Chains A and B, each alone.
Chain A
Amino acid sequence: MNVALHSVAITGAYNTEQARDLGRSTRDVLNEAALGAIADAGLTPADIDAVVATPSAQLVFDLGLGTTRTMSSGPDIEGILEAAGLLLTGEATAVLLAAAKASSFDRSSVAPWVRPANEFVVSHGLITPAEFAFMARRHMIEHGTTAEQMATVAAQIRNNGHANPEAIYHGKGPFTVDDILASPMVADPFHLLECATTSQGGCAVVMTLADRSADAANAPIWLLGGGSDRIGPSYQTSPSWDRVGFHGDDTVAGYIGRRAAQRAFGQAGINPADVDVCEFYDPFSFEIIRQFEAFGFCGDGEGGEFVMDGRIALSGEFPITTDGGLMSYSHAGSFPQQLQRVIRGVDQLRGTCAANQVDGAEIAIASNGGSGALYTEVLLMGSAPAT
């Protein structure tokens, strides 16, 4: 298949240390992440001619990059797809995506970025766990999805983090399904151990076209396909499972990301069965079940059963979120943990994971967002270019 995206590679990837409290400034962590990814790509700062970061202008200024193309999207999968566009139109030859957050906050409340400020939700005590709970509840009602099925997802992801020396919750397990269900309820049906943690850290990625990838210190990881779906603003309107638009496709909000996944698999010329590693975004346990359905790994309503038979284990057919994800590896604000899904996919395909390496992984899927936020982004990557 002749898809322009197939000539784009991720050639650099870097995570800073992640911690509950790094004792550093966000700016300092962002700069480390950026320089780390540039070095990992075998490039120098002089090679970077486009930047998407949090915030882009400050990073260009701090690193003294001179005149640089910046992007208004964020350093996530959507940013990666738009960065590919810059490379393919010739507007840039090496794009840096970087994200970091290291600001502390009062822990008597939930993290500031999970408190929606909108006038129609703020006064009813909405928090992102409740917004996502609305979606999970509908799935439980319509398909009989159980607390045990959701807890099975959380136990797997947290055990992945338990085994990962780079995860902030390394060594805190192992966790059984009963442990998950015995943890305090945050927003029914989500217990504490089914929710993302909050932490600090940074990360960055460098992308180039195929003809520049020979500079990289590590083998390039190739873009096979991607897509990004949004149906409305996050945390401002009711996240109703059956919300649809009036023009265009009829995908319900509960299956946001389906169109993106179909586009990604179509570009890649592969099927979900071909995927070796699922670096799914895991803000809450249910979202993994939902993504298996939305992305076509199983039928609608079958996700709860799908995760129950060892399929999502590291040795299973579809290992999920192998670094421990947002629940256990790190969740530092709005963007780092989104880009980190991609970086974990890169590490798996390079075969360089410090722990939980999936033997022989050749194709990885990464995702960002979620139903409660009314958007989902999907990226398929390969250790070899698409054929």
Chain B
Amino acid sequence: MLHPNVTGIPVPRPTGESAPYWEGCREGELRFRRCASCDLSVFEPRPICPRCHGTDLPWAVSTGDGVVYSWSVVWRPQMPAFDVPYAPAIVRLDDGFDMVTAIVGCEPDEIHDGQRVSVEFHDVDDAITLPFFSLS
């Protein structure tokens, strides 16, 4: 069973740009930015919309639902702290953005192209909570 790796792993270092995203994870919300001018969903936080170059990008909260776009099953870990196997994936959110995450709560061979998945959050330490996805 794939489970969330949260013990002893390298923790993300939020920046001023990304802090609202990580605060959202802490509160159980998957946040992204949506361009006020052209409505493009922008995931990794940036100060400009790559489509219309608008700079008003208010934060929005994703439904956390999407599909598996691509994935791997890793047996040679990034660091020994990661239990193997784990399944990093690109999830394509219904809200119109892709993100790198990991699939948990199923066997590796249950992951398929286009599979419906939903976000779930797991605490790493007192400051960081990570978004994972499980089969819907």
Q: What is A's interface to B at a CB cutoff of 8 Å?
A: 108-110, 115, 117, 119-127, 129-130, 133-135, 137-138, 141, 184-190, 192, 236-241, 243, 245-246
Q: How far does the Cβ of A236 sit from chain B's closest Cβ, in whole Å?
A: 7
Q: Report the bound CA distance from A122 to B100 in whole Å.
A: 10
Q: What is B's interface to A at a CB cutoff of 8 Å?
A: 5, 9-15, 18, 43-44, 50-51, 69-80, 82, 86, 88-90, 92, 98-102, 108, 113, 124, 128, 130
Q: How far does the Cβ of A186 sit from chain B's closest Cβ, in whole Å?
A: 4
Q: How far does the Cβ of B74 sit from chain A's closest Cβ, in whole Å?
A: 5
Q: A119-B13, A119-B14, A240-B98 given as contacts; is B73 within 8 A of A188 (CB)?
A: yes
Closest partner residue, chain A, to B4 (CB atom): A124
Q: List 25 A-B contacts (CB under 8 A).
A: A110-B77, A115-B79, A117-B10, A119-B12, A119-B14, A120-B12, A122-B10, A123-B130, A124-B130, A125-B86, A126-B78, A126-B88, A127-B76, A130-B74, A137-B70, A138-B70, A186-B74, A186-B75, A187-B72, A187-B73, A187-B76, A192-B76, A238-B98, A243-B98, A246-B50
CB-CB < 8 A to A135: which residues of B?
A: 70
Of A120, A186, A241, the residue contacting B76 (CB under 8 A) is A186
Interface centre among B73, B82, B88, B108 (most CB of A within 10 A): B88
Of A109, A133, A236, the residue contacting B77 (CB under 8 A) is A109
Of B10, B75, B92, the residue contacting A123 (CB under 8 A) is B10
Q: Report the bound CA distance from A241 to B18 in whole Å.
A: 25
B74 near A120 with CB under 8 A, answer no
CB-CB < 8 A to A115: which residues of B?
A: 78-79
Q: Report the bound CA distance from A156 to B57 in whole Å.
A: 49
A130 near B12 with CB under 8 A, answer no
A121 near B100 with CB under 8 A, answer yes
A184 near B70 with CB under 8 A, answer no
A109 near B14 with CB under 8 A, answer no
B75 near A238 with CB under 8 A, answer no
B78 near A127 with CB under 8 A, answer yes
Closest partner residue, chain A, to B40 (CB atom): A246
CB-CB < 8 A to B100: which residues of A?
A: 120-121, 124, 126, 237-238
Closest partner residue, chain B, to A128 (CB atom): B78
CB-CB < 8 A to A130: which residues of B?
A: 72, 74, 88
Closest partner residue, chain B, to A236 (CB atom): B44
B78 near A134 with CB under 8 A, answer no
Closest partner residue, chain A, to B91 (CB atom): A238
Closest partner residue, chain B, to A192 (CB atom): B76
Q: How far does the Cβ of B135 sit from chain A's closest Cβ, in whole Å?
A: 17
Q: A125-B82, A238-B98 given as contacts; is B90 within 8 A of A187 (CB)?
A: no
A185 near B44 with CB under 8 A, answer no
Q: How far does the Cβ of A184 sit from chain B's closest Cβ, in whole Å?
A: 7
B76 near A110 with CB under 8 A, answer yes
CB-CB < 8 A to B50: which residues of A?
A: 245-246
Q: Report the bound CA distance from A26 to B18 in whole Å.
A: 36
CB-CB < 8 A to B14: which residues of A?
A: 119
Q: How far does the Cβ of B102 sit from chain A's closest Cβ, in whole Å?
A: 5
CB-CB < 8 A to B15: which residues of A?
A: 119
Q: A119-B13, A123-B11 given as contacts; is B72 within 8 A of A134 (CB)?
A: yes
A125 near B12 with CB under 8 A, answer no
A134 near B10 with CB under 8 A, answer no
CB-CB < 8 A to B124: which residues of A?
A: 123
Closest partner residue, chain A, to B75 (CB atom): A185
B13 near A110 with CB under 8 A, answer no
CB-CB < 8 A to B92: which residues of A?
A: 240
Please give me the 8 A-B residue pairs with the lowest Cβ-Cβ distance, nearest first. Answer: A119-B12, A133-B72, A188-B73, A134-B70, A246-B51, A238-B98, A130-B72, A186-B76
Q: Report the bound CA distance from A109 to B89 in whole Å.
A: 21
Of A117, A124, A189, A246, the residue contacting B88 (CB under 8 A) is A124
Q: A109-B80, A125-B82, A246-B50 given as contacts; is B72 within 8 A of A238 (CB)?
A: no
